[in-house]
Amino acid sequence: MEVGRDERMSAISPPVFTQCVYLIRHGETEWSLSGRHTGRTELPLTEHGEAAARKLGERLRQIPFDRVLVSPRQRARRTGELAGLTPALEIEADLAEWDYGDYEGRRSAEIIATRSDWNLFHDGCPNGESPAQVSDRADRLIARLRAPEGNIALFTHGHFGRVLGLRWIGQPVEQAQHFLLSPASLSELGYEHDRADQPVIARWNCVPSAITDPVPHPGPGATGTAHRP
């Protein structure tokens, strides 16, 4: 039996993915302000951090989320609460910040003073997580998140969020050192031309004052990414 053209095309065309993942770093804390590595330490948001989280919520509340996942850490959960998404928050252990081990609470300058060639994304932290471990954690989470459609919000942290963004597009963890994430920033991960085999970073590190209204998804078959700044 001859296979029809439509059947042949469906057999070779990648599935249509209209999903958008919104990556949110928690608001400012005293340690993020002073540059101290904050992994497992529980810290509240500063007054400025709380105000930024509320401002971010003005945009996030316009988006119909299917799921809202949050790191177990207090600063991430508080950011989600102040953004107005409390009822939907689900704790996700894999969104926790990099485990800094012996470098917890220390500034990069202090570490480099005794270890001049140290780079978090190359070397990791003694008695903490290695870059490979953090990359594997990001991959594990991404595998559970990928779906053909829907909006997902992720409240997470600076270093892990950078790794997550780069692993979304298949780049090695070392490349994350070139992508900064500010406190209370919003990034968007999606797909070029709605193709599952073309994951993209559609928006990166937008702070509340720079975030524009979400752009409605153009729908299957339209060109471009799901949401652009």
Annotated active-site residue 104? The verdict is no
What average pLDDT score do residues 162-176 get? Answer: 98
Do 48 and 208 form a contact (C-beta atoms < 8 A)? no
* CATH number, domain containing residue 50: 3.40.50.1240
As for how many domains the chain has, the answer is 1
Asked if residue 80 belongs to a domain, the reply is yes
Closest by alpha carbon to 120, among 176, 170, 73, 172? 176
Do 190 and 147 form a contact (C-beta atoms < 8 A)? no
Domain containing 124 equals: 15-210
Asked if residue 217 belongs to a domain, the reply is no
Catalytic residue chosen out of the listed positions 28, 50, 97, 188: 97
Using DSSP's 3-state secondary structure scheme, residue 67 falls into strand
Asked if residue 218 belongs to a domain, the reply is no
Asked if residue 205 belongs to a domain, the reply is yes
pLDDT in tens, 114-154: 999 999 999 999 999 999 999 999 999 999 999 989 999 99
Annotated active-site residue 26? The verdict is yes
Under DSSP, the state recorded for 72 is S
pLDDT in tens, 173-216: 999 999 999 999 999 999 999 998 999 999 999 998 755 554 44
pLDDT in tens, 7-22: 554 556 778 889 999 9
Asked if residue 222 belongs to a domain, the reply is no
Burial of 64 (0-12, 13-18, 19+ CB in 10 A): exposed
Asked if residue 215 belongs to a domain, the reply is no
CA distance 103 to 106: 5
Asked if residue 223 belongs to a domain, the reply is no
pTM of the predicted model as reported, rounded to 2 decimal places = 0.86
Asked if residue 221 belongs to a domain, the reply is no
The letter for the amino acid at 21 is V
